[in-house]
Amino acid sequence: MIFEVLTTPNPKLRERSREVLVNEIKTPEMQKFFDDLVETMKVEDGIGIAAPQVGNNIRVIIVLTKKGPEVFINPEITFRSIKKVKEEEGCLSVPGVYGIVERCKEVRVSALDRNGNKIQPDTKGFMSIIFQHEIDHLDGILFIDRAKKIKAEGTSRI
We report the CATH number of the domain holding residue 84 as: 3.90.45.10
Determine the length of the chain. 158
Residue 5 lies in a domain: no
Burial call 68-98: b when 16+ CB within 10 Å, e when fewer: ebbbbbbbebeeeeeeebeebbbbbbbeebb
pLDDT beyond 90 at 151: no
How many domains would you assign to the chain? 1
Sign of CA dihedral 50, 135, 7, 25: positive
Average pLDDT rounded to a whole number, residues 66-76: 97
Choose among 149, 112, 142, 139: nearest CA to 5: 142
User: pLDDT tier at 148 (50, 70, 90 boundaries)?
Assistant: confident
Query: pLDDT class for 156, splitting at 50, 70, 90?
Result: low
Q: Is the confidence at residue 149, as pLDDT, over 90?
A: no
Question: Does residue 157 register a pLDDT over 80?
Answer: no
Query: Quick check: is 3 in a domain?
Result: no
Residue 21 domain-assigned (yes or no): yes
Alpha-carbon span 84 to 77, nearest angstrom:
15
Specify the higher pLDDT residue, 156 or 16. 16
Could you tell me if residue 4 is inside a domain? no
Find the mean pLDDT for residues 69-77.
Answer: 98
Domain annotation covers residue 135:
yes
Does any domain span residue 35?
A: yes
Contact between 136 and 147 under an 8 Å Cβ cutoff? The reply is: no
Average pLDDT over residues 28-32: 98
Does residue 67 sit in helix, strand or coil? Answer: coil
Looking at the annotation, which residues are catalytic? 134
The CB density around residue 28, as the number of other CB atoms within 10 Å, is 7
Residue range of the domain that includes 51: 11-151
